[in-house]
Structure formats: C-alpha cells, structure tokens
Amino acid sequence: MSSSTQSRPCTSPDCIDDIRAREVLHRTETCNIVIFGETGAGKSSLVNLITRKQSAATSSDALGCTTKTNVYEHDVAFQNKTLKIKLFDTAGLDEGSEGTVPNKEAQKVLKKLLQTLVEHDGIHLLIYCVQGTRESMALRRNYMSLYSKVKGKVPIVIVVTRLENQNPDMEEWWRKNEQSISNLNMTFAGHACVTTITIDESDSVDLKERSEQSYHALRELIDKCRLPNEKGFRDVEWACDDHERDHPRSVIVCDSAVPAPLNVCNIAGVINGAWVRSTVVMRGHYYMFQRVTAPYPPAKRSKGGVGFEPCLLIFYVDKNESVNTQRTEVQKFRKVYAKSKDGGRGQMTLARTHC
C-alpha cells in the first residue's frame, strides 16, 4: 500500500514573516523620467549609462543625434524593490535653424511629451543634463522653460556630464559651480557629477572607477529624488499655452430653472454656489464658465478677451415645470446665445434637476 505525502502551506509566524519579507523584496514601482538639455550635453549617453548597455545612439558632433523622443525601459534592482524605469530621451535644445531639430521644434515636441505624460502615466522626475566642459548661456533659460511648466511639482535634478578629466574628482565641478547656479535662481532636488564615456578593456583603472561611481550616483539620485510611485505629477494646467489661458473656451450655463435656495451648480468639481464666472482647466484646456439667468441678456466681452460664441450651452430644467414652459425657456436661451460668429450652432446640453 503506497502512501503519498502532500505539502501543506506553512502557517507559523516565522513562515508568514518570510513570505511577507519576500513580497517586500519583490515589490515593483514605476518611474517615468524625462531627460532634457542642450544639444550635445550627453543625454543619450546618459541613457546608456543608466541602462548599462548601448541602448541609445550617441554622437560627438555639435549637431544632435536624437531627432525625436525615444523611450527606453529598464529595471533597476534595489535592496527592497525593483524600479521599472521609463527614460524619455528628448531632442536637444538650442540648435539653430540648420540643426538636426531646430530649437523651436524641439521645444514644441518636449511640451507635447510633458502634456501627454501628465494626462496619462504621470512624471516622476526631470533630469537636466548639462555638459561640464563648456559654459552655456542657455543653462538658465532651458531650466526656467521647464520649471515654469511644472511649477515646482516635479523634482528637477541636474546631471553634469563629461567629467572624466575633472580633478581631483568629479564632484569638484559641483563645489566650484554650486554658488553660480544658485545665483542664477536655479534650484535642484539633487545633482550628480558623472562621466558617460563608453568603457573599454584598455581604459585606465581610474576611468573605470569613475564610470562605476557615475552609475551608482545616478541610481541613488533617481531613487532619492523621484516622486513616489503613486504621486507621479498628473496636472495639466501648465500645459496650456499663454494664448489659450488668455482666451479660454466659453461655456454658458443657465440654471434659472432651479429655485433660489437650491441654486447650486457643480462643474468639474470646482464651481459651487452662487457663482457668476469661473475658469476651469480640464484635460489641458481652459474653459470659462459663465452663469446667466432669465431674461438672458447678452453677456459682455471680458477684459481678458473672452468671447461669447460658446462651444457649449448648458441649460438646467426643473422636472416639476411643464414641458411647454421648459421648451419656451430653452428656445429663448438658445436664441440669445447659440449662434456663433461663423453662423453655426454651439452644442447644447439639458440637465434635469429635482430628479
């Protein structure tokens, strides 16, 4: 007679602690990192240093080698977690009109990338890549361009490249330049002084050590300065350009059908109570909501240039009113506001109250 032994799950406190420890050890987190900087600063080489392989094409030419945003995924193992990194290698800034990617186009592509990320997966860290071997008048300009968009909500770190010949060590660059950077009103969540040079077997021991130091410095910088996994920046207000901010889309709301004590309208979780005019940002676009009441006088153009050829009309109807009364009020409202400058009709939405 044969017998078989079936394994049973261990339920002792020690076993449970071991299971929990393994779960913690294998915890994974995501991190979206945007690398930006002047052309030739070494952004693509920085990607290769972080991933420890030749993932991105590099060039020593004055013209940039990255012509579009390239995305590289890489897992970085730490003692208690695995960080799943997405590196967004962007086209170089400040190239002239004859460059691989003219500066105006590079700025446009970068802005679109940031807008897409904040609307979907979020941004956890911005790496400002600068070259330590040359002065750059664009240093502050590029910094302020990004800082004004994220408004301090995403940490920006500075990584200084091409410091393989810096003496007595790579960190000397920061000791010499930290005050100058501060004088330019640039604030960083952290910094790393690195070399991104590709190492060969024939390279000196010192160069190999500097490369290894650079890799670990970047690992620590990313883990220390990134936003937590669940707090990736997902705000879109900054993504709108100045023209749209000054000329928001117009939405006219009539809630005259609602009795005065209940005269409360909630739009996008922002507008409440006896409001008249309010601006709301939704999915990267500005909307100016205007509240009107009977007899629906034409609204005046605001100082900000907001017109009243609305993209949307919203009319609240009371279910306790007769259908004829509702129809009459809606027709009056539409007659005043629905016609746009080009002769078309804006979209209209009816909302019932007291349901």
Say which residue the tokens 């393994």 belong to: 22
Strand order in the sheet with 125-131: 70-77, 81-89, 27-37, 125-131, 156-161, 190-193
- How much is the average pLDDT of 202-211? 94
Question: Under DSSP, is residue 222 helix (H, G, I), strand (E, B) or coil?
Answer: helix
Beta strands in the chain (DSSP E): 27-37, 70-77, 81-89, 125-131, 156-161, 190-193, 249-254, 277-282, 285-292, 312-318, 347-353
- How much is the average pLDDT of 85-97? 78
DSSP 185: T
What is the value of pTM for the model shown?
0.59
How much of the chain, in percent, has pLDDT values that exceed 70? 62
- Tell me if 13-231 shares its fold with 240-353: yes
Q: What helix, strand, coil percent values describe the chain, rounded to 5?
A: 30, 25, 45
Q: Which of 205, 64, 213 is nearest to 129 (CA)?
A: 64
- How much is the average pLDDT of 273-298? 65
pLDDT in tens, 92-126: 886 544 445 677 788 888 888 888 888 888 899 99
- Given a contact cutoff of 8 angstroms between Cβ atoms, the answer to whether 115 and 284 are in contact is yes
DSSP 127: E
Q: Give the CA distances from residue 139 to residues 131, 136, 215, in Å, rounded to whole numbers and listed in that order.
A: 10, 5, 24
Say which CATH architecture domain 240-353 belongs to. Answer: 3-Layer(aba) Sandwich (3.40)
- Given a contact cutoff of 8 angstroms between Cβ atoms, the answer to whether 277 and 252 are in contact is no
Domain map (residue ranges) of the chain: 13-231, 240-353
* Superfamily of structural domain 13-231: P-loop containing nucleotide triphosphate hydrolases (3.40.50.300)
